[in-house]
Amino acid sequence: MKKKLSILTVLNVILMLSNFIIQLLSALFLGADWERDALFISMSIPSFFNIVLTASIGVVMTPFAILHEDSETKLIFYNKLLLIVTIYVSIIVLILYIGSFEFTKILAPGFSREKVLMTNELMTFSILIIPIQSATLIISSYWITIQKVLIPTLTTIFGNILTMSLILWFKDKSDLTPKYILFSFISGYMLTLFLIGIYYFSQNNFIPKFKQNIIGLNSLLKSSFILILLILLNRSSIIIENRIASNLESGTISYLRYSAYFTSFLVSATTIPVITVYYSELCLLWKNNEIKRIISFLERGIFILSLVSLLIIGSFILTVKELLLFVKDWTKFSLTQIDLLSFYLKISVISYLFLSLSGFLGRLFYISNNFLKGAILDLGLLFTYIIISYIFVFYWKGFGLAVASVLQATLAFIGVYWTLTKKVLYLDFDKKNRIIFFNMLFIWCFSFLIILVLKEQFAEILNTYLNAILSLILYLTLFGTLLFYSFKKNKSILFSVFRS
């Protein structure tokens, strides 16, 4: 298991880096003007459906499939699922294609007619991503259930390599436009589906028996249908945010989406590898009612994610503006846009801690078959987000939307923890470990604030880049020293974290 975790972690790092490079290349060549806003709006529908399918089908179906040990039964189950989802997704894509212009005006009411026409043209192509990602998600879920978690990651990496290659090729041949970037995305997704699909069907030496009944499948599909409806509402915060931001100054959507993507990148890089490998094991632990082992795993995971998140948040806030200034000459960003983007990023990265913890704990909703409770909680958070977004944007414009997202992530963590404790599983964490956790939090706040003040003072006498590097070194040194001294009686905990 440890070897598999190590390999998967390395592959996930490569995958996350390739995703990051793709977004970085898009940012470098398009900047943060209205064309980039148009591309973000056109991609919001495929991204929205991918999030919905991942949360409602990929996560819900995996525990169900794990309960069926027979490999043939699993293949029949996933073939049925693939057929059903393909039919429904095809209908959705047809509706989106026919009404694309009207949907564009709904998604971006603040866009001028010129922007709407360009966004609509991009959207007619971007909706092709929906069926491609749907099929890829279902097949990936199958490989995860039979413990071959490396296959989905490897095939996605190959798809990302193609996307990056096409973006660079188009940039070399002509001036890169949103259309070329969109074509590069679609090509990469198609290659991923082709590779994972070929390998999937090559392993099937029998004809799928679609008429064979699988116990519990019908009730699961009904539950999933209800869950999909709830998540369609819950995950619409991206759509709502883009809709509000379209009425603000040009580039606001880009700033918000760059910030959200970077935070999502951090969450995925640190949380997904562990969850992916141990998800099947947690499902079996729940099935066998081994509650103490589940709580022990969650307790350790919270501590690890918190420590890593705090280290990254402090380091990023101290150096992000200087990093952007360093690459400015290779981008289309102006100095004003660099200032704005760095400020958005600093606000957004705070939510990284809460998103990691709530995402980690939230898997218990699916493992315990209480996913509807999680969906209802998200629905309440969505309504809260809508209210605070309109209030904050009135006073702080685009920055208000960024602050609202951080507040939503904070409330999500509190809500997940409270709901799990009251409705699913009493998370009776050890008192000693709770004290250690809050001690670590206090040390981080003290270290970060001290160095932040020193950085402002050093700005008058030191070079910009030297100041950032020195601040980073001092921050890591102070935080690490205080943390090690604080844990001198519990060094085994720190060593355990570092090994993990």
HSE, side-chain direction, 13 A CA sphere, residue 457: 6
- Mean of pLDDT values over 123-150: 88
Integer Cα distance of 383 and 328 in angstroms: 38
DSSP 8-state secondary structure symbol assigned to residue 232: H
61 within some domain: yes
Length of the chain (residues): 500
Q: How confident is the model at residue 269 (pLDDT cuts 50, 70, 90)?
A: confident
- Cβ(355)–Cβ(412) under 8 Å? yes
437-495 pLDDT, tens digit per residue, is 788 899 999 999 999 999 999 888 889 999 999 999 999 999 989 888 877 665 555 55
Position 420 pLDDT exceeds 80 = yes
Query: How far are the Cα atoms of 50, 60, 61, 144, 473 from residue 136, in angstroms, in the given order?
Result: 10, 16, 14, 12, 43
User: Is pLDDT larger for residue 203 or for residue 376?
Assistant: 376
62-111 pLDDT, tens digit per residue, is 667 766 666 777 777 888 888 888 898 999 999 999 999 999 999 999 99
40 within some domain: yes
204 within some domain: yes
Residue ranges making up the domain that contains 62: 1-235
Among positive and negative, which fits the CA dihedral 8, 11, 17, 22? Answer: negative
40-57 pLDDT, tens digit per residue, is 999 999 988 888 887 666
115 within some domain: yes
pTM over the 0.75 mark: yes
107 within some domain: yes
Integer Cα distance of 397 and 408 in angstroms: 17
161 within some domain: yes
Which pair of tokens denotes residue 179?
Answer: 């259309």
Position 202 pLDDT exceeds 50 = yes
Alpha-carbon torsion angle 287, 5, 147, 413, nearest 10: 50
Integer Cα distance of 45 and 106 in angstroms: 12
Position 220 pLDDT exceeds 70 = no
Number of domains in the chain: 1
Position 311 pLDDT exceeds 80 = yes
5-32 pLDDT, tens digit per residue, is 567 768 877 888 898 899 888 888 888 8
What are the residues whose beta carbons fall under 8 Å from the beta carbon of 48, sequence distance 6 or more? 235, 236, 238, 239
464 within some domain: no
- Mean of pLDDT values over 313-340: 91
What is the per-residue DSSP string for 395-438? HHHHHHHHHHHHHHHHHHHHHHHHHIIIII------HHHHHHHH
**Per-residue exposure over 332-346, b if at least 16 CB sit within 10 Å of its own CB, e if not:** ebeeebbebbbbbbb
- Mean of pLDDT values over 269-285: 69
CB atoms within 10 A of CB 287: 12
- Cβ(153)–Cβ(119) under 8 Å? no
pLDDT of 215: 58
- Cβ(169)–Cβ(187) under 8 Å? no
Percent of the chain with pLDDT over 90: 42
200 within some domain: yes
